[in-house]
Amino acid sequence: MKTLLIGNTKAVTKSFIEAAFPKSRVLILGETSLKTSRLDKITVFSDYVKENFIEEVFESYEFDQIIYFSNTLSFKNESVGELERLQAVLRYTQDQENLKVIYLTGPEISSYKQVLDRTAEDLCLNWNKRSNSGIKVLHSPYLYSKQSVQILAGLLKDTGDQEIKELSENSQEIANFIDLEELADLFYKILDSWDTNSDVFTITNPYKITLQEAVSAFNQLAEREVISFKKKQAQKRVYTEKQEDILKKRYGWTMTASVLDRLPELYQLAVKEAKKIQKRRRITHILRRVRSQGQIQKLGEVGVLFLLSEILNSYTSANLQFRLVDIRLLFVVLISTVFGTYFGLFAAGLSALALFFSNMASGTDWRIMLYNTEQWVPFIAYLFVAAVCGFVQTKNQDENRSLQKENAVLKEQNTFVQSVYANIIQDKQKLKYQIISSRDGAAKLFHVFEELDNHPYDDILRNSTAILAEWLDSDDVRIYTFRNSVFTGQLQASSKELPAGQQTVELMDYPKAIRQIKNDDIWVNKSLLKQYPTYAVGIRIAGKLQHLLWVSDINYAQLSQYQINAFHMVSQMLKSALEKAYYQEKFQRNIAQEHSPFDSSGNDSIIHIEDRRAD
């Protein structure tokens, strides 16, 4: 299974991914501090891919789940282009079937006109009508996580700085924030119990903490006033609240921690991050000073080389062999080739001055050098050679820079192709494993069939508790039998010993589950109600509700659609085996006795079987 996280993904953390998508390979197409990790099954697309290969990403991958993080999830976010990106994503996935899409957007504000937010929501709902997949729009408070500590660290980056950050927000408005990791459990439940209907949910913040209280708590942790509010404050935001908490009713989820509960931990992380920022600032300052002195350093190097060239020229001028070599011209070529045109022209000027004073020292009149054009040739040669060598050096640098950019683009493309290829290989291996495991699943179902087929009635009941206990990883599987009353069941078989208080069950004590049991539907305790079973289903024999299959003490991780389907299959196989055993016993008794107790003369035959076994 592949899950795409796209949009405003700054707050996404590794722990959130592990909790929300435990069995999925996650691909992130957005700004994040996470890195690609095959071990953690995380792929982070580069900025180049995000800007140039978005369509290719959707063509190369077939995603099972897409979580779109809106820009409005960040407090005071001024990013643009939200609707265009959302519309592009919906267009790329319009023809894909069985796709789960969650559009996570910011809170609803009744005191402001949220035109763009309403338009984005309408885009999602209209897409759902034209596609074969489902979409859920989830209005959430503003997100924060451990990745958000850089904002707080920016306020603490200099402990000696007494500058106060002033906020223009209204100090009495609600601090409507939620930790992203708290949404991991909600995402898991929504995706696990997915349907193709389009729904709009709103996360209600039960904590009425104001911005003033949050700022005061932060200043108290910092032991100084770091943040304050301006005298002229903006209009107060009033967030829309729903009367009915649908998320709690449907998924059993509520917000459990306020921003004040998380603030001490965030503050400690911000302090550590602030120290890292200070170290980086010192290093950056040193490098900046070195770079600012680079021009002076180069001028010094040119001066030193000029002096060396003049000393060498003075020693070699008396040698006939070295007279054929112009040391000053060699100096100009060297400086122009290494440092470029400007420093080359500077070196040419120094060599020209040196040549001029050398000629003056040898007795040549400056008027002759000025008016005799033949004397200009070496001076012009210095300048010309400096310009040509500098131009060649600049051209080579430009070509090298262009090749580096082209190489970087090719690397980005190669990385993208390699990631696609690696995912294809992983999909191939996963499909191979699924084929093999599906065979094992068929063999397991055949083993269940053998355990339940062609056995006496009581043995089937005992075997079924052991089978379900192993399949669902639970040690509390019970089967109750209804004899004299359709509302009171007596314990018939159990995977463990039970106290006397659990030997009977009263259906009237479970009003939320009685309808599903009576209708032969599977009851799943998604709301985690106390005293209720995790799974329960009624078993009818000869049209009468005869047994109740009861399963408790299951880890919430087992409440997946796969386990529900497995429970459904085993319960249907159990019902079929019990009916077969019932009719076999009825047939055998009809042969052995002239007047069979199974004769339907007003009493149900199943009760006769139970009475016989009870005796």
CATH number of the domain enclosing 604: 3.30.450.40
Q: What is the mean pLDDT of residues 252-275?
A: 85
Q: What is the pLDDT of residue 606?
A: 43
Range of the domain at 126: 2-144+173-207+234-257
| pLDDT tens-digit readout, 212-243 | 888 888 888 888 888 888 888 777 888 887 76
**pLDDT score at 605:** 40
Does the pLDDT value for residue 292 go beyond 60?
Answer: no
Number of H helices, E strands in the chain: 19, 17
Task: Give the per-residue pLDDT at 425.
Answer: 66
Residues 582, 467 share a domain: yes
**What's the pLDDT score for residue 415?**
74
| Same domain membership, residue 339 and residue 245 | no
**Mean pLDDT value of segment 455-460:** 78
| pLDDT value of residue 615 | 35
Does position 50 have pLDDT exceeding 60, yes or no? yes
Last residue of a domain, one of 403, 426, 444: 403
CA distance 596 to 600: 9
Please give the residue that has the higher pLDDT: either 155 or 15: 15
Q: What rounded mean pLDDT belongs to the chain?
A: 79
- Inside any domain, residue 10: yes
Provide the sign of the torsion angle of the four alpha carbons 400, 401, 406, 411, taken in this order: positive
More confident residue, 377 or 135: 135
Q: What phi and psi, each to the nearest 5 degrees, are found at residue 521?
A: -95, 160
Residue 94 and residue 242 share a domain: yes
Confidence of residue 68 (pLDDT cuts 50, 70, 90): very high
pTM above 0.75, yes or no: no
Same domain, 490 and 399: no
Q: What is the pLDDT of residue 102?
A: 92
User: Based on the domain organization, do 104 and 242 belong to the same domain?
Assistant: yes
- pLDDT of 412 strictly over 90: no
- In the predicted model, what is the mean pLDDT of residues 19-38? 87
| Same structural domain, 497 and 386 | no
For residues 186 and 606, the model is more confident at 186
Dihedral through CA 464, CA 470, CA 472, CA 476, nearest 10?
70
Q: Domain count for the chain, please give it.
A: 3
CA 258 from chain centre, in angstroms, equals 22
Q: Give me the residue label for tokens 């913040």.
A: 205
Q: Is 372 among the domain residues?
A: yes
**CATH code where residue 179 lies:** 3.40.50.720
Three-class DSSP category at 604: coil
For residue 50, what are its two tokens?
Answer: 């995000």
- Domain assignment present for residue 59? The answer is yes
pLDDT at 613 over 50: no
- Residue 398 and residue 471 share a domain: no
- Residue with the bigger pLDDT between 199 and 293: it is 199
Asked if the structure places residue 424 within a domain, the reply is no
- For residue 161, is pLDDT > 70? no
* More confident position, 299 or 132: 299
Q: Is 260 helix (H, G, I), strand (E, B) or coil?
A: helix
pLDDT single digits (tens) 468-479: 887 777 788 888
In this structure, is residue 452 part of a structural domain?
no
Determine which helix (DSSP H) or strand (DSSP E) holds 99, and give its type and residue range. Answer: none
| CA distances (Å), origin 14, targets 4, 22, 346 | 14, 11, 56
Q: Is the pLDDT of residue 554 over 80?
A: no
pLDDT score recorded for residue 319: 65
Q: Are residues 52 and 196 in the same domain?
A: yes
245 and 316 assigned to the same domain = no
Digit-coded pLDDT (tens) for 340-381: 888 888 888 888 888 888 777 777 777 777 777 777 888 888
- The predicted pLDDT at position 273 comes to 80
Average pLDDT for 120-131: 84
Beta bridge partners of 30: 7
Residue 17: its pLDDT value, please? 92
Answer yes or no: is 8 within a domain: yes
DSSP 522: P
474 with 539, same domain: the answer is yes
Order of all β-strands in the sheet with 25-30: 42-44, 25-30, 2-7, 65-69, 100-105, 134-139, 199-202
pLDDT of residue 434: 59
pLDDT at 187: 92
Instruction: Report whether 558 contacts 473 (CB < 8 A).
Output: yes
AA letter at 31: E
Residue 5 confidence (pLDDT):
93
pLDDT band at 598 (very low <50, low <70, confident <90, very high): very low
462 and 554 share one domain: yes
More confident residue, 323 or 465: 465
Lowest-pLDDT choice from 192-201, 505-514, 560-569: 560-569
**Residue 345 forms part of a structural domain:** yes
Does residue 86 carry a pLDDT above 80?
A: yes
203 residue type, one letter? I
What is residue 69's predicted lDDT score, i.e. its pLDDT?
A: 93
* Closest to 127 in 3D by CA, of 91, 98, 81: 91
Share of the chain above pLDDT 90, in %: 5
In this prediction, residue 446 has a pLDDT band, given cuts at 50, 70 and 90, of low
Question: Of 64-73, 327-336, 362-371, 519-528, where does mean pLDDT reach its minimum?
Answer: 362-371
Distance in Å from the first CA to the final CA of the chain: 54
Residue 610 falls within a domain, yes or no?
A: yes
Say yes or no: 121 and 179 in one domain: yes
Identify the domain boundary among 357, 380, 403.
Answer: 403
